[in-house]
Structure 1
Amino acid sequence: MNFSQIEAFCRVADSGSVSEAARQLECNRTKLSMAIKSLEKELGIELFVRTGNHLSLSEAGKAIYKDCDSMLVTAARIKQTCLQVSGEFNAEIWIGRDDSLPGDLWQELSHKLNNKFPATSFNIVLASSGDLANLVETGQVDYAFGVDYERIDDPRLIYQPLGKIRMMSVCKANHPLAKKRRVTDEDLLNAMQASMAYLNEKDNPELQPFSRQYIGFSSFDIMLNTILQEDAWGVLPEPLIRHFLRKEELAVIRHTYGLTQEDYCMLMATGMTEHPAIEWLTDKINDFLFDF
């Protein structure tokens, strides 16, 4: 039994498909199938139930999956520790973020990061809130920052809450919804919604559109522009819209869920050692949210 076989087993179990697992691991499909068959032969059990092109875990596969996944997490932690000791730790860092916090704040923090940690290169990419966990889980970014809609019990991820963000259901100040003393579910169902769109294949009820008619975006900022320009409503983070609320260009919808709170989190893979630059960044964001 080797780590290549265990990784092949876990990734196929996660995706339910040899082809998809091969794509994620960037390896040959035949090689992946052979690794699983070799593992099954060594263990003397079938790990998957095959139905057409779909694979699901057998009872034996379910029994060993958690231990196998934990072995991969431990191996990743060992590799990260060795890289850190050898001085090669995170010479380049990829950071995913949503736009729930103002762009000016991120621009300021990114410049300070660059000056404070000149030996490290930073790549900061914008992504939908619903995709952040998946980006970290699949190794596309090292760390992610944003509104956490998906807090799940995943041994591969660490969620570090940095503060609370108020999420507000809003519309233009002259929108019919803004004039109602009490907005019902039916009122919202019949009004155009600007909603959050994401690519992550996991269904997330909190990000599903509420209205019958909607248009989805991966950016809060584009949602905001749509709400300001069209007869639409949507749920937006307070740091992004406080200016428009004060100018009375936006109004909070008087609905049961007009105001909610979500955690703003930093996400990283289990076993990843937090880089000093990320520690500095999380402190600055925590201060901003506390003062806000």
Structure 2
Amino acid sequence: MNLSQIQAFITIADTGSVSEAARQLDCNRTKLSMAIKALEKDLDIELFIRSGNQLTLSEAGKAIYKDGQSLLVTEARIRQTCLQASGEFNAEIWIARDDSLPDEKWQAFAHRLNHRFPATAFNIVLASCGDLANLVATGQVDFAFGVDYERIDDPHITYQPLGKIRMMSVCKANHPLSKLRRVSNEELRNSMQAVMVYLNEKDNPELKPFSLRHIGFSSFDYILTTILSEDAWGVLPEPLIRHHLRQQSLAVIKHTYGLTQEDYCMFTSSGKAEHPGMTWLADKLNEYLFDF
């Protein structure tokens, strides 16, 4: 048994196909099939149930799947530790972030990062909060920051809560919902909702629309613009809308759905050494959220 065989096993289990696994791993399909046969021979058990071109995990395969994932995570951690020990740090870091915090706050953080860590290039991209964990898990970015609606048991991801963020159901100040002393479920469902949508293929029940009529966007800022310009309501993070609430251009809807709290997290690939710039950024975000 070796790590390349474990990698083949995990990837085929995730995709259900040798062909797709070979494409993802950029290797020969025959070589991948031979790796699985060698692993099964070594363990003296069948890991997959074969039906045409489809493969599903056998009971034995299901039993060792988590351990296989853990082995790959440990391998990545060992390699990263060795790179760190040899002084080979990342000269470029990719960061994904949602827009739950004001843009000017992120711009200030970005400028300070560049000044404090001039040897590292920081690339910051905007993403839907529902896609952050997946972007890290698939290696498209190194770190991600944003609202964590649904923490899943994924050994590839480390979640570090940096603070609580209050999510508020709001509408325009002159919206009919703002005039009601108590908003019923029916009234909320019959009003247009601006909702968060994302590309991650995993369903997230907390991001499903509450209203029967809705329009979806990949950013909180687009949701805010729609609420301010259309007869819609939506759920938005307090840091993004505090000044609108103070100016009374937005009103909080009086409904049990009106106020919730979510974790604001840093998402990291398990086994990746934390760059000192990310430690600094996490501390600054924690301090900022503490004020709320």
Q: One fold, TM greater than 0.5?
A: yes
Q: Deviations over 1:189-232 (max 9, x none)?
A: 11111111111111110011111111111100111111111111
1:230 has 2:234 as partner: no
Tell me, yes or no, if the aligned pair for 1:80 and 1:89 is still in contact at 8 Å. Answer: no
For normalisation by structure 2, the TM-score amounts to 0.95
The answer to whether residue 81 in structure 2 is matched with residue 81 in structure 1 is: yes
Query: 1:46 corresponds to which residue?
Result: 46
Residue 206, structure 1, aligned to residue 206, structure 2: yes
| 1:254 alignment partner in structure 2 | 254
Q: After superposition, where does 1:28-67 map in structure 2 within 5 Å?
A: 28-51=28-51, 53-67=53-67
How far apart are the structure 2 equivalents of 1:233 and 1:26?
Answer: 46
Cα distance in structure 2, aligned partners of 1:236 and 1:180: 20
Q: What residue number does 1:283 align with?
A: 283
Distance in 1 between residues matched to 2:30 and 2:208, nearest whole Å:
37
Aligned counterparts of 2:22 and 2:230: Cα–Cα separation in 1: 44
1:24, distance to aligned residue in structure 2 (A):
3.6
Output aligned runs, 1:1-292, within 5 Å.
Answer: 1-51=1-51, 53-292=53-292
> How many equivalent residue pairs?
292
Equivalent residue letter for 2:48: F
- Identity score, percent: 75
Letter of the 2:79 counterpart: K
Offset, 1:25:
3.1
Counterpart CA distance in 2 for 1:53 and 1:209 is 37
Q: Matched residues in 1 for 2:238 and 2:18: separation?
A: 43
TM-superposed deviation, 1:291: 2.0
Q: CA deviation at 1:19?
A: 4.2
Determine the C-alpha separation between the residues in 2 that align with 1:151 and 1:12: 24
Q: Following the alignment from structure 1 to structure 2, what is the Cα–Cα distance between the partners of residues 135 and 274?
A: 17
The structural deviation recorded for 1:43 is 2.4
Residue pair 1:159, 1:265 contacting (<8 A) in 2 also: yes
Q: Distance in 1 between matches of 2:24 and 2:97?
A: 22
Q: Which runs of 5+ in 2 are unaligned?
A: none
What is the rounded CA distance, in whole Å, between the counterparts of 2:128 and 2:82 in structure 1? 33
Seen in structure 2, the aligned counterparts of structure 1 residues 231 and 17 have a Cα distance that, compared at 3 Å, is: farther
Q: Distance in 2 between matches of 1:259 and 1:280?
A: 30
How many angstroms does 1:243 deviate by?
A: 0.9
C-alpha displacement of 1:277? 0.4
More off after superposition, 145-154 vs 45-54? 45-54
Distance in 2 (alpha carbons) for counterparts of 1:29 and 1:246: 61
Which of 253-262 and 50-59 deviates more?
Answer: 50-59
Q: Deviations over 1:234-254 (max 9, x none)?
A: 100000011111111111111
Distance 1:248 1:276 in 2: 41
* TM-score, scaled relative to structure 1: 0.95
Query: Any unmatched runs of 5+ in structure 1?
Result: none
Q: Secondary structure at the match of 2:75?
A: helix
Larger CA deviation: 135-144 vs 28-37: 28-37
Q: Which runs of 4+ in 1 moved over 6 A?
A: none
Q: In the TM superposition, what whole-angstrom CA distance separates every residue of 1:41-76 from its partner, at most 9, and x where no partner exists?
A: 332322122345543211010111122111101100
Distance (Å, rounded) in 2 between the aligned partners of 1:86 and 1:45:
40
d(CA) in 2 for partners of 1:23, 1:145 = 30
